[in-house]
Amino acid sequence: MSNQQTVLPETTIQLQKIFDPRGNLTVVQTGQDVPFEVKRVYWVYDVPSGESRGGHAHKQCKELLVATSGAFHVTLDDGKQQRTYLLNHPYQGLLIDRNTWRTIDDFSSGAVCLVLASELFDEGDYIREYNEFIHYVNHV
């Protein structure tokens, strides 16, 4: 194992899990559980076997990803280093900061990826080409 420190900060967070015999509950509250105001919520589901999602970065938008059902892998890339996370618990979230390339893949059958975003949709905030992303993060 290398002695070099990981550039990417630890970004997984444990969300509160409220146990109840009728079914468990997890809550996410702006300012307590997520470090930004949530302005947009969306979810990705029915991803065909072998397909991936993401494949982009945001200039301003931060996100929290949660596997509300099933499992999938998220690979984060800051332009220098990559780190892959397995999301498979609905009480665990992955924070993704701006200027971070993300790829989501290996979706299990029935997987649902819930995304809480800090910004409204803005196509101009997306970097969709990896080479453009590398150029951007090296000049920010």
Catalytic residue positions, numbered: 56
- Give yes or no for a contact between 15 and 93, defined as CB atoms under 8 angstroms apart: yes
Contacts of 136 (CB under 8 A, 6+ apart): 57, 59, 99, 127
> What is the spatial distance between Cα 110 and Cα 124, in angstroms, rounded to a whole number?
31
> What is the spatial distance between Cα 128 and Cα 33, in angstroms, rounded to a whole number?
29
- Give yes or no for a contact between 75 and 102, defined as CB atoms under 8 angstroms apart: yes
> What is the spatial distance between Cα 139 and Cα 114, in angstroms, rounded to a whole number?
31
Beta strands 63-69; 112-117: pairing state: antiparallel
